[in-house]
Structure 1
Amino acid sequence: MNVPQRTNVTKLSSTYIAEHEEKKQKAARRRRVVAVRLVVWSLLFAIFASALVYTLHSQAKAIDAKTAEQQKLKEQLAELERKEKQLKEEMKKLHDDDYIAELARKKYYLSKDGEIIFVLPEK
């Protein structure tokens, strides 16, 4: 077992030694202050960086949602334009008397004189 031995060395009290000890203490305080500043600035930077990353992520998510909604609305617009075109064609056909007569025969089973209507089952 190693037991530290006491040495009979005494410190001299001179102005040089006092100044040297004071310089050591100032350097130690300065290092501590620098370390605290470094930690504080690092924490502030980390908080700022995380806020930026969070904002970037939320904006990217919002952009993706808007893009998906835009695509859905484009498809809906194409469908509505197709229906509009179809309805305009139907409107043009409704000005024709022959088409109206044919439509009345199909929908309401109206017939001309001497005409027999056969209803076939739909598959």
Structure 2
Amino acid sequence: MHELGLVSGILETVGKTAREAGASRVVSVSLRIGDMAEVNPETMEFAWDVLREDDPLCVEATMEVAYVHPSSVCLDCGEEFEHDRFHLRCPACGSADTVLITGREMDIVSMEIEDGA
């Protein structure tokens, strides 16, 4: 269950950034996570609900996640294509010589805070 470690790291970064900005609270955090990162959405939500309570700045924060579907490029024919986690062969030429270009993201995109004033 690597989601606990992920959420812990996210909250650590968010809390530190919010404190440096003089925030009175974190309202929301937006994430972008690739399907290939093997993150379970329900476990991620559970970890968020549990771990955010450890930081008074984040205790009421919501988490919004945009999941990114995998896409690859074929090194043989140059075709760019979307696929699921298991089918990486080029649909144009059938080659398995492909490189993932999206789908492993794990980004904090933005956070909304209230300032201390």
- The TM-score range, normalised by the shorter chain, is under 0.3
Q: When the two structures are superposed, what TM-score results if normalisation uses the length of structure 2?
A: 0.20
Q: Which is higher, the Rg of structure 1 or of structure 2? A: 1
Q: When the two structures are superposed, what TM-score results if normalisation uses the length of structure 1?
A: 0.19
Greater helix share, 1 or 2?
Answer: 1
Greater strand share, 1 or 2?
Answer: 2
The structure showing larger relative contact order (alpha-carbon pairs under 8 Å, at least 6 residues apart) is 2
